[in-house]
Structure 1
């Protein structure tokens, strides 16, 4: 047994009986110990028992995670080994390719030289063809001259024919005269004999002349025939010369084309040469990088082996820790067994708080309000959980992994994990719960979170009776296949609406969850949560949580010690609480946005005219709301995204400018119209933050000349899309369910979702949201969401008002409140160290 002293106001406990006072003291008091000390010891022992149980659960969980980590490191080692082989193959291929590139470079050099020779020959040919064309032209000219000479010769032959005709006529005349002379000589007798001889000679001469003339005529005729043939030959030669000239011109064109082609080819070869040269340099760089990659892979293999070794050390340490813990557990039981406490008032370990909202919807598939989520987080559990740091941690699934296709996730359930009614959670409950979110009969506003699951589309459209991507492998294993690789999927599974509920009870109409607390009663005035002792993370420290609804002044009640903790969301509450010295205040920037929403489906001027929406945006004084209503518990919003999710310094919004707002309204002829905007308002206490924000906005709208009417509905019907669609303007808020940008924008701006209360429908936004969701590269994805936000801000379906801070005030005797970036907290982490 350990020796220890518990000191309280100088009272000493006996080590043999730690709960009994020293005999002298007990005589003075007249009792072993007072009730206050007894209750305090009851609280401490209860806390200690639960802490020990939780440590045991966490050690088991860590051991499971370590086994998964060992498996992952082995897979990494295998993948690195495969990668190293692939890198070596790549290096070999690159070396071969480099050799080929060098051959190509050499060939292009030879091709370049051949092109240069071809160019020289083509240029010489070009000159020769030009000379040939010039010669052809000279021949053509000579032929024209020859044709003219032959023509002249023909003309002269014609003139000779004329002379021959004349000579023939003279010969005929001479022959006739000779005949007449012969006749006259005959008459003259002997005296005319000599004259007769002359006449005969003349006749003979005439006959010979005629014969010569005939011969000359025949010769001239032959000359004419030769001249005709010569002319035809010259004409044919001239045609051939023309054809030769045309052919030479064509040949010249071909040579010019050859020269142009060779020049182009030379340029291309030079470009190829340069590109090949650059390629060789790049290949050398790639080879160097690949070699470096190979070296890094070897280092990675070594580091992975070290990691594997350290994981094994971790596993060994966990075994040692588990052994030490078992010893601690045994000693703790013995220690607690030695303590004798007169009465255990465990039911007194209670937390009291108050909310302005009534929470009457406990169905995780349908709920999407922040305060509903705050309650659901504590009464339900999902396959995975989102912890206080906004990160994924084990839930009903103790471990999970993705298969080789990077699309199929396998989840290993905790054996013996129970629902509030004591039934064990099985794979069948998981499949049923997830399919219920996608069931068209349920028409869940949260079905978008599982749109990436294979088969979800067919199931939602009623084509398939089940979601094919969700498969039961065995009683404790479920696989979920996706359409595409989606980095936000695991975060989606950790959301409240993906809570796992008991199938058998749900079919009877009863919602039975498996969270750390179960609902004892829930009315319009209050809700009582009771600790679930068999929760997989261990029994919560606090036995009961009492929540008052619609408290008119929760801050005064807090000061009067009626409450243990409370959320602060206004300046008034902050001012009251911070004066109380017995209170601790935890402030946290959270991923949320309050906004004014335009109904883009209405027939109002605000839906049809962007400039009117811009004027309203300029007319609202956001800083006045933050300063006067919140007391600084908020940051002015420029776009939908909280800065902690997507930060874009270049984004320009619409800062308050009343003069510019009025000018825009005037330019768009608003003041000459009878346009009245209907504004949806909650019909509850004016002290409600939403109503106060609405009052400020109405003042600003009136100040710039906007005419409006009020439509009041009860708070529980305010988010009903049917009521929202009847009005032109509604004021709402959106709290991130996870830190994923897609998770934030998809419900708000995809027209398929009822949470898109503006009914904003931009096909470009829908397309970009789909692309961004499927993008794995985080930097590229971040840039895409910045672009999407800019388009939305430019379209003005909203007036983003502010991003809130959550203030949590609690008494100093309370430990363990951890607010996540999502503004939620788990009651199971909270404990009291004093009553």
Structure 2
């Protein structure tokens, strides 16, 4: 946009040179050929008017450009600040990533070690399970042997019982034999000599029966001891078998636990293997991220340098606009000289009015080059009816004042009387009191204006050349930001370049509705309304001796006010 403005300014300079040559050429013809004077004057006036219009448009555009440049510069400075913070953050992130990278590498080594340990643990547990399984198999084998022994003991116990039975029978036989031997001895003694041989046999039989009985008793005792030993052995075998059963169950449970541990260790091994694998990937990704962040940091630093260069360029372009604006001011002076040459040749019924937009009183449609508004309609009503041709020059405030001082215009509308202006202007009656002032702030800012003290430290948008009320004009606790147009003030407000806008209630309410600001701007509670009102008058240039225009205005205004025309004009724009 800056380059377009510079190109526009250069175009104005070129057009100025062309107009200068044309006017100088026409001036020679003007003084050498009086017959064509009016035609030449009109042509020069048109050319000068177009040139003045270009200069004025440029002057109005400069303020918008300054506003945009200020916003660009502010945003660039914010970007620079953010870029510096981003660079610092990236460096910090890089350091954090470096620490993470180192920690992940350590974790990778740890996970690999854990994986190896988990693998070894799983293998050891598996071996222990196999050993326990072998122990169970051995216990089962021993138990089987003990079961066989127990069966053998049971068989021996049965056989000893049988042996006891036989011993008992032998004892019975021995006792019976002993009785028979006794009886035989008795019978042998009765037989005398004849029984002596049989008596000897009977004694031997008794002796044999006694020995048999004695042996039977010994054998019976041995069998009893064997039986007792068998019973004790059997009990002990039962205890051993029970303990073997308990041990087998316990080992089975142990095996189940070990199998669970084996599964867990296997799962742990798988997990640690996955962790190790993923950690390796993370290490690679973090390394790539670290490289990317380092690259991004370098890019951010380069971008920051570029942004700084852009900001310097913006500042240089702003200076270029200042220089160009200064050159345009010089061409404005040249144009004033052109107007001085032809002003005395204007027809008597032509009225030139210099003013700047002041909505809703003076509205300028730059696209259609049409001027309207409350004061414009009023002036047209007064002077057009009287046969005057009214021509408007839409120029910055200072330009209109300079034109009035040089006698290049007839009227300055919508102006307040003061001693300085009375030196070059005669003033009409007061035709409007602008006693009420409204204050506007952006809804995005947490600002509330309840009284004039709340303006302290704020940036307040004001109109160039405009006088407000004494308490406001004499207050030095806030900064004033000057603008040629009210719309520019609201744009600055929305862009955050100012904090508060002050406008008279007519202009404020009109623009508030026209620009549809209800969702973005709020009208503050603080409003100034005082009997010590600000007046609006028409200024008539003394150098042009326009007393007749002054008298006509005063007379016709009172008539139009009386018949309701002024009210209708006002309601046309304010309702």
Q: TM-score, normalised by structure 1?
A: 0.40
Question: 2:69 is matched with which residue?
Answer: 73
| 1:13-52 → structure 2 map (5 Å cutoff) | 15=32, 17-19=34-36, 41=39, 49=45, 52=48
* CA deviation after TM superposition for structure 1 residue 185, in Å: 1.9
Q: Say if 1:323 and 1:13 are closer, same or farther in 2 by CA, change over 3 A.
A: closer
Question: 2:108 is matched with which residue?
Answer: 112
Q: Deviations over 1:708-740 (max 9, x none)?
A: xxxxxxxxxxxxxxxxxxxxxxxxxxxxxxxxx
Give aligned pairs, total.
380
2:94 matches 1:98: yes
Question: 1:251 is matched with which residue?
Answer: 261
Partner Cα separation in structure 2 for residue 200 and residue 507 of structure 1: 170
Partner Cα separation in structure 2 for residue 256 and residue 77 of structure 1: 65
Question: 1:319 is matched with which residue?
Answer: 329
2:294 matches 1:284: yes
Q: Say if 1:46 and 1:226 are closer, same or farther in 2 by CA, change over 3 A.
A: farther
Higher relative contact order at CA 8 Å, sep ≥6: structure 1 or structure 2?
Answer: 2
2:298 matches 1:265: no
Q: Deviations over 1:745-785 (max 9, x none)?
A: xxxxxxxxxxxxxxxxxxxxxxxxxxxxxxxxxxxxxxxxx
Question: 2:166 is matched with which residue?
Answer: 170
2:262 matches 1:181: no
Q: Say if 1:172 and 1:379 are closer, same or farther in 2 by CA, change over 3 A.
A: farther
Aligned with residue 148 of structure 1, among 131, 134, 144: 144
* CA deviation after TM superposition for structure 1 residue 313, in Å: 1.0
C-alpha contact 1:401 1:411 (8 A) present in aligned 2 = no
**RMSD across aligned C-alpha pairs, in angstroms?**
4.3
Question: 1:512 is matched with which residue?
Answer: 572
Higher helix share: 2
Aligned with residue 426 of structure 1, among 488, 507, 510: 507
C-alpha contact 1:80 1:297 (8 A) present in aligned 2 = yes
Question: 1:630 is matched with which residue?
Answer: none
* CA deviation after TM superposition for structure 1 residue 16, in Å: 7.4
* CA deviation after TM superposition for structure 1 residue 402, in Å: 4.8
Q: Say if 1:280 and 1:395 are closer, same or farther in 2 by CA, change over 3 A.
A: same
Q: Say if 1:198 and 1:47 are closer, same or farther in 2 by CA, change over 3 A.
A: farther
Q: Deviations over 1:523-558 (max 9, x none)?
A: xxxxxxxxxxxxxxxxxxxxxxxxxxxxxxxxxxxx
Question: 1:218 is matched with which residue?
Answer: 228
* CA deviation after TM superposition for structure 1 residue 157, in Å: 1.1
Partner Cα separation in structure 1 for residue 24 and residue 50 of structure 2: 26
C-alpha contact 1:65 1:399 (8 A) present in aligned 2 = no
2:190 matches 1:198: no
Q: Say if 1:219 and 1:405 are closer, same or farther in 2 by CA, change over 3 A.
A: farther
C-alpha contact 2:171 2:213 (8 A) present in aligned 1 = yes
| 1:343-422 → structure 2 map (5 Å cutoff) | 397-398=487-488, 400-403=490-493
Partner Cα separation in structure 1 for residue 24 and residue 495 of structure 2: 59
* CA deviation after TM superposition for structure 1 residue 66, in Å: 2.0
* CA deviation after TM superposition for structure 1 residue 149, in Å: 0.9
C-alpha contact 1:397 1:411 (8 A) present in aligned 2 = no
2:523 matches 1:471: yes
Aligned with residue 338 of structure 2, among 328, 341, 345: 328
C-alpha contact 1:74 1:308 (8 A) present in aligned 2 = no
C-alpha contact 2:115 2:276 (8 A) present in aligned 1 = no
* CA deviation after TM superposition for structure 1 residue 222, in Å: 0.9
Partner Cα separation in structure 2 for residue 222 and residue 379 of structure 1: 136
C-alpha contact 1:3 1:15 (8 A) present in aligned 2 = no
* CA deviation after TM superposition for structure 1 residue 117, in Å: 2.2
* CA deviation after TM superposition for structure 1 residue 250, in Å: 1.2
Partner Cα separation in structure 1 for residue 123 and residue 25 of structure 2: 118
C-alpha contact 2:167 2:219 (8 A) present in aligned 1 = yes
Q: Deviations over 1:553-607 (max 9, x none)?
A: xxxxxxxxxxxxxxxxxxxxxxxxxxxxxxxxxxxxxxxxxxxxxxxxxxxxxxx
Q: Deviations over 1:261-289 (max 9, x none)?
A: 11211122122111111111111211110
| Unmatched segments (≥5 aa) in structure 1 | 21-37, 345-374, 382-393, 416-423, 435-449, 456-467, 477-503, 515-835
Larger Rg: 2
Q: Give the 3-state SS of the residue equivalent to 1:110 in structure 2.
A: helix
Q: Give the 3-state SS of the residue equivalent to 1:471 in structure 2.
A: strand
Q: Deviations over 1:64-86 (max 9, x none)?
A: 43244335434544543444343
Partner Cα separation in structure 2 for residue 222 and residue 263 of structure 1: 59
C-alpha contact 1:94 1:283 (8 A) present in aligned 2 = yes
Q: Say if 1:222 and 1:379 are closer, same or farther in 2 by CA, change over 3 A.
A: farther
